[in-house]
Amino acid sequence: EHLQTRHVSIPAGKSVQYTFPELFFYKPNLWWPNGMGKQSLYNVIITVDVEGYGESDSWSHLFGFRKIESYIDSGTGGRLFKVNGQPIFIRGGNWILSDGLLRLSRKRYKTDIKFHADMNFNMIRCWGGGLAERPEFYHYCDIYGLLVWQEFWITGDVDGRGVPVSNPDGPLDHDLFLLCARDTIKLLRNHPSLALWVGGNEQVPPPDLNNALKNDLKLHPYFVTSEEAGKSIQGLS
């Protein structure tokens, strides 16, 4: 059930997008945030063999089965999270980046993120004035069960506030911003620790960027189950 091989023909010099028939799992081990259970990670390997050549490429990734929901509570104005249907009390740390000279090493990520887990945190927020964190950061968040709140690169202080008042329209090149955002999403989207994308820090991005991000990141209609469609909760992820 967890091994499939399919035949695909790809025209010369072309790219195609291929979707495997869905793989069925009965009661898989779920990925849980720190303090709620184990961080079960499955190894997913995709390989492509070409007739007359042999193995042409291979890709692997650790994948965690988990469902993360969040919405703004109308009573408190706070964002509430559920993981695998269970409400979770978020205890978070704020993350700028591991080093201002970008001396980003696996060892440092491992140490810093394990430290957050040892402090009984279950979420790290990556501030919009810093980086979209790197796959090595997310790897250790997957391992140690830290949910990640990842912001894009918009902040009020250089995008609309300050003295003199900064440009509220965000970076000059909006197309470049979206290109970078889309590429970053593709880089990070398979990590189970990735919980929430946010437009920026203390600021809503300019309308065209905000609308594009919201549109690109909304749940694909194929994955909205009838169970979810019946709910009236706004912002269900």
Is position 43 an interface residue for another protein (rule: CB under 8 A)? yes
Q: Which stretch binds another protein (CB under 8 A): 70-78, 108-116, 123-131, 229-237?
A: 123-131
| Marked catalytic residue, from 51, 133, 202, 227 | 202
Is position 87 an interface residue for another protein (rule: CB under 8 A)? no
Q: How many CB atoms lie under 10 A from the CB of residue 98?
A: 20
Is position 115 an interface residue for another protein (rule: CB under 8 A)? no
For residue 35, give both structure tokens. Answer: 């303090």
Q: Which stretch binds another protein (CB under 8 A): 72-80, 96-104, 112-120, 139-147?
A: 96-104
Is position 11 an interface residue for another protein (rule: CB under 8 A)? yes
Annotated catalytic residue 202: yes
Of 133-152, which residues contact another protein (CB under 8 A)? 134
**Are the C-beta atoms of residues 190 and 63 closer than 8 Å to each other?**
yes
Q: Report DSSP letters for 48-104, one per residue.
A: EEETTTEEEEEEEEEE-B--EEEEE-TTT--EEEEETTEEE---EEEE--S-TT---
**Residues near another protein (CB under 8 A), total:** 99
In the list 35, 73, 119, 167, the residue contacting another protein (rule: CB under 8 A) is 167
Q: How far is the CB of 90 from another protein (least distance, A)?
A: 21
Phi, psi of 38 (to 5 degrees): -80, 155
Q: Which of 186, 162, 159, 185 is nearest to 174 (CA)?
A: 159
Active site residues: 202
